[in-house]
Amino acid sequence: MFDTLQDRLQSAFKNLRGKGRLSEADIDAVAREIRVALLDADVAVPVVREFIANVKERASGAEVSQALNPAQQVIKIVNDELVTILGGETRRIRYAKNPPTVIMLAGLQGAGKTTLAGKLSLWLKEQGKSPMLVACDLQRPNAVTQLQVVGEQAGVTVFAPEPGNGVGDPVQVATAGLAEARRTLHDVVIVDTAGRLGIDAELMQQAADIRAAVDPDEVLFVIDAMIGQDAVVTAQAFLEGVDFTGVVLTKLDGDARGGAALSVRSITGRPIMFASTGEKLTDFETFHPDRMAGRILDMGDMLTLIEQAEKAFDADQAAKDAERLMGGSFTMEDLLKQLEGIAKLGSMSKVMGMIPGMGQYKEQINNFDERQFDKIKAIIKSMTPAERDNPKIIDGSRRLRISKGSGTEVKDVNSLVEQFFGMQKMMQQMAKGGGIPGMPGIPGMPGAGKRAGAKQKPQQKKKGKRVSGNPAKRAAQETAAPKNEGANAFGFPTQGGQDFELPKELKDLL
């Protein structure tokens, strides 16, 4: 969602790099580009004005003029101001002292309230809570049925005494749901309310009546992050009519401009608490302003990536696997485990987007075909245990059988086996401490494959070629010497003006 904004901001900062001092003209120029980038991203005009004024004020002071690297200091200022307009600090749910905690969802139709109710209930369940969903959207066709399906997927209780489709009183259902939660000892109640295609008095009155009836601890305003400038108008209307305590952004995985995320907090003064980043129930996360600012500025979000990895991987099993790999043992079964673990983290574009500096490879990441992982997993699962443990026994007839079993072609099996042998060779080389094959200058893992306390032979200096004292012969030697033996942009050595060529298996792995 923030791809365009990210590109525009990176372009603005590019002109600052390499400058020892920043003039007032430099600061004005970068402020102008940031202003255009924010307005192009559909950020509300009042928010843009305040943001630019704060950046220019700080950039013109001693904070930048006395910095060793003024360009980096300006980027830090922009990052700090982004964190401020996104909320500053992470806002957590305030649970009631006497359960159940009541959370009411409000918003327009199509914002994703019902799906979000299921995501929030699953998230609360993972936090050790016992949530219950209450179906108070009795207007939209099949809204009650949808909530029941989502609740079943999340494995939580759904209270739905009325069939919906225009039948029933939502205020009575909300009151009865709260009483049922107390009786069944559920400690969190999530009330899903009705929405409308637009803001009207009936919608606001119904939401206000439900709020008065259940006295919720949190009222979450669910807003579609793709609606742009209209997000501000909608948020202000709900703030006046319902007075929500927090905001939830949905559809953050969309390709719209994302100005709502940067506008709604500043305009309403209410914090953004959660973000929905996909269609699955697990595509839901706590909103961290500092991490989101890091993503926008292509600084990555390693903390979120680590948290997701901790959920996806078993720590003890991962430690055992790592120890085995460092011992030089690498099989098809290990490769299958790694691929399945990566799949649990989400799409490759989502994972790579959390790594710092990956914005420059955006096009390649977006063009990556996720189905390649499925094809590889299908091929490995079509192998016998013996073939997975020792792929060297996979001859022509076995490859034909595996290709038929996985619905692929023999060339696909051949390609996977060849790439696997390359990876296996690299793992064995790293385990011996000899570095990555074909990549000089990159050592192996510290201590890997070395016996503790073993003495290392001192490296002998290589004797250089003797330079002749005869000027004519010396000129001939210099002419014959290889040219441009430096390093390219990636740190690999260059010989004779040609870049160092990586081996095929390593290219495929990277």
Summarize the annotated binding site as residue ranges. 107-114, 192-196, 250-253
Q: DSSP string of 53-72?
A: HHHHHHHTSHHHHT-SSHHH
- H helix runs in 41-159, sequence order: 45-59, 62-65, 70-85, 113-126, 143-154
- H helix runs in 141-169, sequence order: 143-154
Q: Please classify residue 191 by burial: count the beta carbons closer than 10 Å to its beta carbon, then call 0-12 exposed, 13-18 middle and 19+ buried.
A: buried
Residue 280 carries which DSSP code?
S
Helix axes 70-85, 45-59, angle to 10 degrees: 150
Quick one: which of 356, 293, 305 has its CA closest to 89? 293
Query: Are residues 230 and 255 in contact, defined by beta-carbon separation less than 8 angstroms?
Result: no
Q: DSSP string of 180-200?
A: HHHHTT-SEEEEE----SS--
Q: How far apart are the first and last CA of the chain?
A: 26
Helix axes 230-241, 201-214, angle to 10 degrees: 50
User: Residue 290: CB partners within 8 Å, gap ≥ 6?
Assistant: 83
What is the rounded distance in angstroms from the CA atom of residue 265 to the CA atom of residue 253?
A: 19
User: Residue 248: CB partners within 8 Å, gap ≥ 6?
Assistant: 105, 116, 220, 221, 222, 223, 272, 273, 274, 275, 276
Provide the annotated binding site for GTP. Answer: 107-114, 192-196, 250-253
- H helix runs in 269-345, sequence order: 289-296, 302-312, 315-326, 332-345
User: What are 86's two structure tokens?
Assistant: 């996104």
Quick one: which of 302, 298, 250, 244 has its CA closest to 274? 250
| Tokens 């060529």 -> residue | 501
User: What are 223's two structure tokens?
Assistant: 């807003």
